[in-house]
Amino acid sequence: MGDFNFFVKQNESSKTIKYNKKKITLVFSFFLLLIFIFTSMIIVKTTILKKDISKLQAQINKAENKAILSKYESNKVTMDILSRYKEATNTIAPTLEGKATITTALINEINSNIPQGVTFKTITMNDATIDIQGTGTNKAAIAEFTHNLESIKTIKEVKISSISGVSLTPGGQINFTINCKLKDVVKNENK
């Protein structure tokens, strides 16, 4: 007969415990290795990104790029102002389009009726009146100009509001101011 070994069960359980400890150590070591690899990869990628960021910042901070950026920003401000101006004029334009009493044709007609010896100092225009300040070599030239203005169809009334100076000498000048009232004619000069 054989001997009975009462410690076999204890020996087998100690072998199982050692085996389980090796398994746990191996699994734990594997996870530590994975953590180390991923941490190393993150550190390397972070370092590469920091280098790329510093290169990009150096590129951005170059003087020529800053000059381009400042020019762009000033152009953007100008564009914003022009856009607001365009919006404002687009709301006013339809209103003014129907009220155009002073046209280029009227200005050309006034210009063509200026006699020799009459010159303008200033001309002020609005929707209802035209005020002309000028000089003339004699009263006849000023009167002729007044008569010529009265013959223009869109002018309702012409009056000399002031006249001063005497042209007794050659080259002497007479100052005058003429006020013209316009008729309520709405005319599109493009037609």
Cβ contact 186:100 at 8 Å: yes
Fold of 104-182: Gyrase A; domain 2 (3.30.1360)
Reported confidence tier of residue 179, pLDDT bands at 50, 70, 90? very high
Residue pLDDT, tens place only, 45-102: 999 999 999 999 998 888 898 889 889 999 999 999 888 878 877 776 665 555 556 7
Domain boundaries, the chain: 62-96, 104-182
Residue pLDDT, tens place only, 94-114: 655 555 567 778 888 888 888
- 140 vs 53: CA distance, rounded Å: 84
If one counts every other C-beta atom within 10 angstroms of the C-beta of residue 176, the result is 24
Map residue 91 onto helix, strand or coil: helix
